[in-house]
Homo-oligomer: A and B are copies of this chain.
Amino acid sequence: MSRKLRMGMVGGGRGAFIGGVHRFAAGIDGQIDLVCGALHVDPEIAKLSGEDLYLSPERNYKTYYEMFEKESQLPADERMDFVSIVTPNFVHFEPAKLALENGFHVVCEKPLSFSLEEALILQKLVEETGLTFTVTHTYTGYPLVKQAREMCTSGVFGKIRKVVVEYPQGWLTTPVEQSGNQQASWRTDPKRSGKAGSVGDIGTHAENLAETITGLKITELSADVSKFVENRLLDDDANVLLRFDNGAKGVLHCSQIAAGEENALNIRVYGEKGSLQWHQHDPNTMYVKWLDKPMEVYRTGGGYLGASAAAHTRTPAGHPEGYLEAFANIYRDFTKVVQAKLDGVEVDPIYNDFPTVEEGVRGMKFIDAVIESGENNAAWTKI
């Protein structure tokens, strides 16, 4: 019989952003207890952070090394089942590797790792261990993204011809990393973020969304990559031409200097018979257009939606579901898969639906291709 899962967390202490988001998301469905953590690189902050979260002192670890070691030694009915890794990019690989090597399932922030090499090692480890691993490309957790994927891949729009995906943000319009903004600081630091700035932070979300919804793969791209803010160390803008494996063409642009924009992730997919548009700011609405009849507006909770959208919605139509519910869908599905493993049963396939390590690897390849193309004056580059 299923039981609640026990979660550990690496990162996410005081001052962090995404760690709290993971905890909100893990909390919604009442299937997960946070039991331990290595919440901060500074032991004192780690301690206080754990107290904030009511961790018992003995499981409020100083380091993730300690956490993996101690948790591994706990009895099976006590030790954590999985770890959430919510640290900056350069601290994804090691804890993820340790987790897998010690038999813990993993929820890992995106991008998967600091480099493609690391990503490939993790992918291999997941294959070898058979453990469950997800990369939190949150946006594919929205019910209407599931619906979009179902409609595109089932062929109702005919062959897909064109994809326009964009993710404009404005929060790095000025050099905020030079005046102490913690979130900006590591994201614009090549030592902590990797070779990409905006391309890694949000471009990968756009890439993941486009490939997830269409079921297509980007085969090559041509990227004009920019650093607009003086003395910034990583890209803050990219405009990218895309070509897909079925012959479709596309445009992807992402920016962190799009003044005044929030998280304006938007996708349009055009097929031979119709098209769709979905925008993250109004995630419960999807526009479906046809050649010869009125545009239809699909809404989260609508009785006409497919099985996957319905399975990832908590409330009836008219109760806006947001970012945290999309995030919680990843945790909920991850939980169901792990619970099924614990119970020795097959999980209902409809819930086996979260971004995998393969998608994480794909994101790293995308980063490499965009940065390489950018360095070559937007030369076409294979992905």
| A170 sits at the interface (CB 8 A) | yes
A299 partner, pick from B295, B322, B323, beta carbons under 8 A: B295
A274 (CB) vs chain B CBs: closest residue: B259
| A195 sits at the interface (CB 8 A) | no
Contact A318 B264 (CB under 8 A): yes
| A340 sits at the interface (CB 8 A) | no
Cβ contacts A57-99/B at 8 Å (1 or 0 each): 0000000000000000000000000000000000000000000
> A17 contacts which chain B residues (CB < 8 A)?
316
CA A27 to CA B31, docked complex, whole Å: 10
| A354 sits at the interface (CB 8 A) | no
Contact residues on A (Cβ < 8 Å of other chain), bracket: 35 or more
| A345 sits at the interface (CB 8 A) | no
Given A275-B260, A292-B304, A251–B249 Cβ distance below 8 Å? no
CA A147 to CA B282, docked complex, whole Å: 20
Give min CB distance, A147 to chain B, whole Å. Answer: 11
Contact B166 A164 (CB under 8 A): yes
Within 8 A of B (CB), among A290-304: 290-299, 301-304
| A263 sits at the interface (CB 8 A) | yes
> A275 contacts which chain B residues (CB < 8 A)?
170, 258-261
Contact B291 A173 (CB under 8 A): yes
CA A109 to CA B164, docked complex, whole Å: 30
The majority secondary structure among interface residues of chain A is loop
Contact B303 A292 (CB under 8 A): yes
Within 8 A of B (CB), among A237-268: 237, 239, 241, 243, 249-251, 253, 255, 257-264, 268
A321 partner, pick from B168, B255, B324, beta carbons under 8 A: B324
A304 partner, pick from B272, B289, B293, B299, beta carbons under 8 A: B293
Contact B281 A320 (CB under 8 A): yes
Given A222-B222, A222-B378, A377-B380, A237–B260 Cβ distance below 8 Å? no
Chain A to chain B: the 4 pairs with minimum beta-carbon distance, closest first = A260-B289, A262-B318, A263-B318, A322-B322
Q: Which residues of A contact B (CB under 8 A)?
A: 3-4, 17, 20-21, 23-24, 27-30, 34, 53-54, 157, 161-162, 164, 166, 168-171, 173-174, 222, 224, 226, 228, 237, 239, 241, 243, 249-251, 253, 255, 257-264, 268, 270-275, 280-284, 288-299, 301-304, 314-325, 377-378, 380
Q: Could you jot down 16 A-B contacts, CB within 8 Å?
A: A21-B314, A23-B30, A28-B28, A30-B54, A170-B291, A222-B241, A239-B249, A251-B253, A258-B268, A258-B270, A259-B273, A259-B275, A263-B319, A292-B303, A296-B296, A319-B323
